[in-house]
Amino acid sequence: MNDNDSLARAFDAQRSHLNAVAYRMLGSASEAEDAVQEAWFRLGRQGESVDNLRAWLTTVVSRICLDTLRTRRARAEDTLADDVDAYLPDHDRSGDPEHQAMLADAIGPAMLVVLDTLAPSERLAYVLHDMFGVAFEDIAVIVGRSTEASRQLASRGRRRVQGLGARRAATGQVRRAIVEAFLKASREGDFGALLSLLDPDVVLRADAAAVAAALTAPAGAPKIASEVRGAELVADVFNGRARAAQVAMVDNAYGAAYAPGGNIFTVFDFVIENGLITGINVVVDKDILATMDVQLV
């Protein structure tokens, strides 16, 4: 057996996995096949041996799919395939773990529709990490972001996939009213009003850049920890503060931002459920902000 035959056999051993990755990325059987075939061509052009073939091929297929998704988004195409069942297991393949996983997820048309709402990088991060266990460090290389930004991409994708997340639980106008009331209570130092808007188990999370910025802030500014739990502690962080924050659309949902001169410096991403704020994510990291769609209102 020559080297080409050996390489072909090794590639064929990974084909089912690669098809599964590409199909979840693209939602189209034909496009998934094209991506996997292109990966085979690139493997043939690879001038040196590959130590971890599965990881190498997964990376290559992911990059091909990311390019396809970006092109699709730029053209505003609706490419949800009619051949959704093409990769679901038949009776002869029911023992194949990759195909069993496809059936178990019950992704079908409904899941693919949800995945199609994600930005390309969000979809890639969510699919690779949550469905295939790829490390965020490896995803970061593919999307050209930091590890933390890749984690944020997957997290946002996950929220949307899980019923579009608790962030969607509040209707637009109700959500805006809650955010505006929170900012008003914060600016006016109305501790009681803040408590009335916060769930008793509310969680405030801040990225490393937000924590560092708080440590160097002038006296009297809130000292934010990476995680603060409980309504009273979270209310204390914001009591008499947030004077320059304003309502903003954060990934198409009402939140808040601090934007001196119109430049987004800090984003407050609210989780609202049953009329109460259950979570506040404070984002300052520029790399993460670059992945977010923030529009001042």
Question: Domain residues of the chain, as ranges?
Answer: 3-116, 167-296
- Phi/psi at 267 (nearest 5 deg)? -120, 135
Does the pLDDT of residue 173 top 80, yes or no? no
- Give the model's confidence band at 18: pLDDT under 50 very low, under 70 low, under 90 confident, else very high: very high
| Range in 22-26, 66-70, 111-115, 293-297 with the lowest mean pLDDT | 111-115
Q: Is the pLDDT of residue 39 over 90?
A: yes
Range with lowest mean pLDDT among 5-14, 37-46, 94-103, 205-214:
94-103
Q: Contact 89/96 with Cβ under 8 angstroms?
A: yes
Contact between 170 and 94 (Cβ < 8 Å): no
Lowest mean per-residue pLDDT among 145-154, 207-216, 237-246? 207-216
Q: Which residue has the higher pLDDT, 216 or 58?
A: 58
pLDDT at 167 over 70: no
- In this structure, the strands spanning 266-273 and 227-229 are unpaired
Give the pLDDT confidence of 62-118 residue by residue, as tens digits: 999 999 998 887 775 444 443 333 333 333 333 444 443 443 343 445 566 668 778
284: three-class secondary structure by DSSP: coil
- One of 3.40.50.1970, 3.90.550.10, 3.30.70.270, 3.10.450.50 is the CATH number of 167-296, namely 3.10.450.50
* Identity of residue 125: A
Q: How many residues does the chain have?
A: 297
